[in-house]
Amino acid sequence: MSGAVSRREACRLCGGRSLELALSLAPTPLADAYVPQDRLGEVQGTYPLDLFLCRTCGHVQLLDVVNPEILYRDYAYATSTSLGLVEHFRRTADDLLVSMEPAQGSWVVEIGSNDGSMLRRFKEQGMRVLGVDPAREIARKATESGVETLPDFFTSSLASRIRRERGPAALITANNVFAHADDLSDVTAGIWELLSPDGAFVFEVSYLADILQKRLFDTVYHEHLCYHSVRPLAAFFHRHGMELIDALRIPTKGGSLRVTVQRAGGPRSVSPSVEELTALEERMGLARIETFRSFADQLGKVKAGLLDRLREIKHKGGSIAGYGASHTVTTLLHHFDLAPFLSFLVDDNPCKQGLFSPGHHIPVFHPRVLYSQKPEVALILAWNYSQPILAKHQPFLAQGGRFLLPLPNVEEIGFDA
């Protein structure tokens, strides 16, 4: 892909060409492209955020693909900066060692291993581990910390080389990355090649059912090319000589799916959860375009209500700060047109403090600025983390400030709440 963005013409999962626009969000810059002050003069391009429904298999996806070399080679996000995620992956590793029963000392390979948080736990439990991640600096640091990480994209050719050099993997994992690859067929061919006959591929992705039920539209950004559900995934893996044997809903990232896959004819039976979630998806209408049109109407009403409240605050002379400077915040700011109302952003991640938001260039500060600047309202843009934010900042409420939640419904919280 030579340019910054290309356009797919066929479904990633089934190759079907009957694709219908399901949800059109405002175009944005790259979601995590926060910039330092000396780069404020640079123009940040915006790219479409349009979700399409495949009429053939029911898969939901972005068709506009930003060059992965732009997205990932200098990727800055680290697992350890997300609240509770390291502990989640450590627990998951322990669970998989019990449920999958890989032989002690066998290989565990993680695709998109980031800073090695999950593999580190497998290594502590006596497994041999290898990470694959294209973010060069993150891969280097992970390797230096004791988790060998190949600084590359996972492909079928790389998988063949790993198997030749190291043997098959008893377990392959991928956390929040199976939605990121444009050529999922090649990735899956590589997984089949690298996996031992009795091995398992376990991955976590954002779940389309949760996106609709909980209004998690801000999890749509350019890194996330796919918005997965069980029925299309099961058919996809079947076409690639694999079998989807388990699907578990988990709370991470606002609502995710943990999927277990084996080679066709593998040793494990199919869990009832697969049929149960497929039935849920049918009831929810995840393969019907009308479902997404209704979802767009819901978002429009929430947006209108939130903007009315923000205009009221500004009309009375109040100042408004935003709490959060993550990937999701970029989608939320742009689609809900929130930037004109916000004086500044705050975020707990030190890596974001001192930077400026993608496109709008709103400054990002440490949360202590809430206490010195004393805005009347702090809009919790990282609304999935509202409970720990509220618990941590009761003193902001005590000094007379108020928090405002934008989603799933507009809600205002004061000290007397």
Which of 287, 318, 339 is at the close of a domain? Answer: 287
What amino acid occupies position 71?
L
Q: How much is the pLDDT for 2?
A: 43
Which of 287, 310, 343 is at the close of a domain? Answer: 287
Share of the chain above pLDDT 90, in %: 89
Residue 6 lies in a domain: no
| Together in a domain, 330 and 205 | no
* Residues spanned by the domain of 320: 290-413
Q: Label residue 164 exposed, middle or buried (CB < 10 Å: 0-12, 13-18, 19+).
A: exposed
| Together in a domain, 299 and 248 | no
Q: What is the pLDDT of residues 361-396, one digit of tens each?
A: 999 999 999 999 999 999 999 999 999 999 999 999
Residue 34 lies in a domain: no
Residue 362 lies in a domain: yes
Instruction: Return d(Cα 329, Cα 3) in angstroms, integer.
Output: 26
Residue 36 lies in a domain: no
| Together in a domain, 325 and 371 | yes
Nearest to 379 by CA among 392, 368, 370: 370
| Together in a domain, 176 and 255 | yes
Domain count for the chain: 2
Q: How many CB atoms lie within 10 A of CB 273?
A: 17
| Together in a domain, 207 and 85 | yes
Instruction: Return d(Cα 200, Cα 220) in angstroms, integer.
Output: 28
Residue 11 lies in a domain: no
Which of 255, 287, 319 is at the close of a domain? Answer: 287
| Together in a domain, 338 and 245 | no
Instruction: Return d(Cα 386, Cα 337) in angstroms, integer.
Output: 21
Is this structure's pTM higher than 0.95? no
Residue 274 lies in a domain: yes
Residue 5 lies in a domain: no
| Together in a domain, 113 and 262 | yes
| Together in a domain, 174 and 323 | no
| Together in a domain, 102 and 244 | yes
| Together in a domain, 212 and 355 | no
| Together in a domain, 120 and 268 | yes
pLDDT along the chain (417 residues), means of 10: 80 98 97 94 92 98 90 60 76 92 95 93 96 92 95 96 97 94 96 97 97 97 96 98 97 92 96 98 98 98 98 96 97 98 97 96 98 97 94 95 97 80
CATH assignment of the domain containing 335: 3.40.50.720
| Together in a domain, 374 and 226 | no
Residue 196 lies in a domain: yes
